[in-house]
Amino acid sequence: MQARVIEFANVLRRNGIRVSLSENMDAFRALELIGIADPQLFRNALRTTLIKRSGDQKSFDELFDYFFLGIGQALDAIDRKIMEELGLSPEKFQEMLEQIQKLMKEMEGDLAELTKALLNNNRAELERLLREAMQQETQGGTPDSLRHTPYTRMMMRLGLDRVQSEIERFRGMLQMLGENGEDLQNVLRYLDERMRDLNRLLREVIQQEQRKQGAELRDSSQRGALADKSFSFYTEDDIRRMNDAVARLAQRLKNRLSVRRKKAARGRFDVKATLRKNMQYGGVPFLIQLDRRKKTKPQVMVLCDISDSVLNASRFMLQFVYSIQDLYAKVRSFVFVAEIGEVTKLFEEHDIQTAVETALKGDVIDVFSHSNFGRAFEQFHRNFFASVTSKTTVLVIGDGRNNYNRPNEWVLREVKQKAKQLIWLNPESRMTWGIGDSEMPRYAPHCHIAEECRSINQLYKIVDLIVP
Amino acid sequence: MFQSVDEVIAGLGKQKYLCNKNVATVVYLGTSLQKPLLVEGPAGVGKTELGKVLADSLGMELIRLQCYEGLDEAKALYEWEYAKQLLYTQILKDKIGEILEGAKTLQEAVDHVANQDGVFYSDRFLLPRPLLRAVLSEKPVVLLIDEIDKSDAEFEAFLLEVLSDFQITVPEIGTLKAKHIPLVVLTSNNSREVSDALKRRCLHLYLDFPDPEREKEIIQLKVPNVGDKLADEVVRLLHRLRKLDLKKTPSISESLDWVRALTLLNIKDLDHELVEQTMSALMKYEADIRKAHQELKSYLAEKQARRPDVSDDKDHLH
């Protein structure tokens, strides 16, 4: 059993779940206590000792099924089927098996292990043989692995032709013995069925193994691919999964911030406060007081372009903005196409999905007009410039495609002078900046940071830039 | 200690805490292997309650350490009682004078004092905080470290030593080793991912909201005079509400409060005008309450559609 558990831990590891040696040992100790009789307890014991992230629970359940129940379930199904086809009750079936066993003993010559297991209906043995073959198959690829299908290779490994000939011999012997009537017919049919079952079982095992391998590849590669995929190619499904990534990103931002705030909290020696605090000890400075540095609450203003040209990107960016607003106390969010509108209130009051959809639907501003960055910036200057302070970080998200309108880059120049930071995130590739109606070359010099932000990975990097 | 998984279910059940086999297995393993339990899950599924109930059912004392940002060793482990030490030196001034009497040089005086400093750094002036109390306790205890995710990463790292060796080093006194290994329950709301190092040392338990049948059992256990029909409907509505995107999903304890309120008002099923008004016991945000009202309406509408004749009958009865 220990070997099986270790093997299982390896499968978990291959699926990106971290399992340490000490956890493995915990699992053994747990199994010593719990035993392996009750499958549910067995599963629980493994889960609690090996799986420590709630996100991994699902993978664990899936892999556990493949690994421990896979062949067993298939065998169960086959047993039931045979009984049904032969029209035998479980007791009758057992009787027949015993009969066969007796006959097998009489038969001279060694039978292959697999034949024995098959005819005896020895499930544990059958399972072991199949699994071993499968393991050899996955570990050491045969030299002619390209010429044969996995199925034929497994057949060769298990020595299926030998089993076939042996069963034929068995049949011959039975007929020679000339047992009469129904019993013989049943046994013969049973043999036929068994042979077919073996084939079916083999296919099932191979399929499961492939699924297992597939599961391994699937998860890690998909997440990786998603991280590098450009926003504009996201499908609905991607977007849903992206929510998770955004949440993680926001969490990361939060962690970084809390570390920084804590570092900043320790200040210099404060004489006055120390004296006051130590009055109770007769003025002996037992407790040292440090002055607290003033906490600067980050103020963020986000301007997000939601025109058609960047629709997918802006949906994602709005989610990002929403998370930011959740994080910082003072965030004001704006969306713009040709006009600018504030969505801070909307984001505060609604959950993320409704808020983002409402913002994109055109309830706040007209989303069907052509983008006009210049005008939006001018409006921003007129209505909101007063709230930009020396502590404000201004974040602009947009492709800078201005439809040849007046760029009004002077707004950005003034914002840069007044604000703490001006950051521009562009969902377009840097190569295309300045081509066509893109005004990025005019805008970029006025920003502290102007970065291409086309995928979640780039966003991660930018978060590191913004929050050092 | 528990001898089997079923015993855990029975033991916790006696304290009116219903748990499934999964939870019971983990608890059983934790108590038998003497490993800390790390309980994760959404707010209000009974993580903290599990720790309390565990202490009750085993007849052990519960020592609770509530974590928060900025929690440090002094608050969690031990502190010297400065004020008391100072007071003692003041009172014992004469005695100290005596000790110093024979000394001729400053060096000698310092030596005399140094010989006595053990008096001031002894158990007498040590203020034990939860962790030290758990270690020093004469009887086995349950140590509940609540909301570990709220503490800082440094504190978590510090906890590693305590949890793996169950010993605490006080520089002035020496190393204090636990007489009995306490049963440790850590809870986390997952507001921050707990470090892998800590997770490795623990058994992991993910508590989720119970399935409808179990939740009904819980409600009927905790609010005995609730009607069967009301309990049924409440649970059904709760499960619908939890599927919504709410700022705060209704927890088990909140739903118990709500059911208590409903039974107090003698409400027998959810077709009652007062139901909407009592929902503030369940929901804590205005936006959530609004959503819950809508869900309640659609729930009642569906119910109406399912058995129109029954509700008609009821109108006649009025």
* Mean pLDDT, rounded, for A44-55: 85
User: pTM higher than 0.80 for the full model?
Assistant: no
CB contact under 8 A, B287 and A350: yes
pLDDT of residue B54: 92
Whole-number average pLDDT of chain A: 76
For chain B, the 3-state helix, strand and coil shares in percent, each to the nearest 5, are: 60, 15, 30
pLDDT digits (tens, 9 = 90+) for A280-329: 887 787 787 877 665 556 678 888 888 877 777 777 778 777 777 766 66
Q: Which of A33, A44, A287 sits opposite B21 (nearest CB)?
A: A44
For an interface test with A, which of B200, B288, B289, B290 has the most A Cβ atoms less than 10 Å from its Cβ?
A: B200
| Residue B61 parent element (H or E) | strand B61-66
For chain A, percent of residues with pLDDT exceeding 90: 4
Q: What is the pLDDT of residues A62-85, one digit of tens each?
A: 778 777 776 666 667 677 777 777
Tokens of A422: 């001006």
User: How many other C-beta atoms lie within 10 A of the C-beta of residue A199?
Assistant: 12
B:259-318 residues touching chain A, CB 8 A cutoff = 287
Residue B91 at interface with chain A, using a CB cutoff of 8 Å: no
The predicted model gives A375-403 an average pLDDT of 88
The ipTM is 0.78
Which residues of chain B are within 8 Å of residue A34 when distances are taken between CB atoms? 5, 25, 28-29
Residues in CB range of B12: below 8 A, 6 or more apart: B18, B19, B24, B27, B50, B53, B54, B57
Categorize the per-residue pLDDT at A464 as very low, low, confident or very high, splitting at 50, 70 and 90. Answer: low
Task: Residue B206: list chain A partners with CB under 8 A.
Answer: 54, 57
What is the average per-residue pLDDT within B293-311?
Answer: 76
Q: What is the pLDDT of residue A220?
A: 46
Q: Residue A212: pLDDT above 80?
A: no
B232 close to A (CB below 8 A)? no
Six token digits for residue A135: 């393991």
The contacts of residue B59 (CB under 8 Å, 6+ apart) are none
d(CA B280, CA A102): 75
pLDDT at B143: 93
- Tell me how close the Cα of B9 comes to any Cα of chain A, in angstroms: 13
Residue pair B208/B193 in contact (Cβ under 8 Å)? The answer is no
Q: Which residues contact B186 (CB under 8 A, 6 or more apart)?
A: B36, B37, B38, B39, B145, B148, B198, B202
The pLDDT assigned to A381 comes to 92
Name the strand (E) or helix (H) holding A340. strand A340-342
Q: Is the pLDDT of residue A168 over 60?
A: yes
The whole-number pLDDT of residue A218 equals 46
Q: Is A450 left (phi over 0), alpha (psi -120 to 50) or beta?
A: beta
Q: Over the stretch B224-274, which tens digit does the pLDDT of each residue have?
A: 888 888 888 888 888 888 888 777 888 888 888 889 988 888 887 777 777
Task: Measure in Å the smallest separation between the Cα of B278 and chain A Cα atoms.
Answer: 22
Interchain contact B41–A (C-beta under 8 A): yes
B248 to chain A: nearest residue by CA?
A351
pLDDT range class, residue B37, cuts 50, 70, 90: very high
Between helices A160-177 and A181-228, what is the axis angle to 10°? Answer: 160
Q: How many residues does chain A have?
A: 468
- Position B268 scores a pLDDT of 79
Share of chain A above pLDDT 70, in %: 74
- The Cα–Cα gap between B36 and B201 comes to 7
Tokens coding A303: 């301007």
Contacts of B36 in chain A (CB under 8 A): none
* A83 vs B201, residue with greater confidence: B201
Q: Which residues of B touch A18 (CB under 8 A)?
A: 196
SS3 for A279?
Answer: helix
Instruction: For residue A352, give how far its alpha carbon lies from the nearest alpha carbon of chain B (Å).
Output: 9
**d(C-alpha B49, C-alpha B23), whole Å:** 13
Residue from A29, A52, A258, A263 to probe the interface with B (highest B Cβ count within 10 Å): A52
Instruction: Provide mean pLDDT across the span A109-122.
Output: 71
B229, amino acid identity? K
pLDDT tens string B53-94: 999 999 999 999 998 877 887 888 888 888 888 888 888 888
Lowest mean pLDDT among A218-222, A417-421, A460-464, B70-74: A218-222
CA distance to partner chain B, nearest, from residue A343 (Å): 17
Residue-level pLDDT at A160: 75
Whether residue A357 lies within 8 A of chain B, CB to CB, comes out as no
* Nearest chain B residue (CA) to A47: B204
Record: contact B205-A48, CB cut-off 8 A: yes
Q: Is the Cα torsion angle A21, A22, A23, A28 positive or negative in sign?
A: positive
Nearest by CB to A54, from B40, B70, B287: name it.
Answer: B40
Where is pLDDT greater, at A68 or A107? A68
Q: Looking at the complex, does the CB of residue B1 fall below 8 Å from at least one CB of chain A?
A: no
Is the Cβ–Cβ distance between A390 and A419 less than 8 Å? yes
Say if residues B166 and B181 touch (Cβ distance below 8 Å).
yes
A263 touches chain B (CB under 8 A): no
How many whole angstroms separate alpha carbon B148 and alpha carbon A389?
Answer: 37
pLDDT tens-digit readout, A146-167: 556 667 777 777 777 777 777 7
Question: How far, in Å, are A3, A401, A429 from residue A424 at the CA level?
Answer: 56, 13, 13
φ/ψ (deg, to 5) at A423: -120, 135
Residue-wise pLDDT tens digits, A361-386: 877 788 788 888 999 999 999 999 98
Cross-chain residue pair B204–A52, CB shorter than 8 Å: yes
Do the Cβ atoms of A34 and B25 come within 8 Å?
yes
CB A304 within 8 A of CB A397: yes
Nearest-CA distance A346 → chain B (Å): 12
Residues linked to residue A425 through DSSP beta bridges, in sequence order: A397, A451
* Cβ-proximal residues to A69 (8 Å cutoff; 6+ apart), any chain: none
Closest of B229, B287, B300, B284 to residue B259, by C-alpha: B229
Q: Which member of B21, B33, B196 has the closest CB to residue A26?
A: B33
Check A45 against B29: CB less than 8 A apart. yes
Which of B22, B38, B202 is the closest to A44 by Cβ?
B22
Give yes or no for A350 touching B (CB within 8 A). Answer: yes
Nearest to B113 by CA among B98, B128, B123, B127: B98
Put simply, the answer to whether B21 touches A284 (Cβ < 8 Å) is no
Note whether A317 and A395 are within 8 A (CB).
no
Note whether A48 contacts B26, CB cutoff 8 Å. Answer: yes
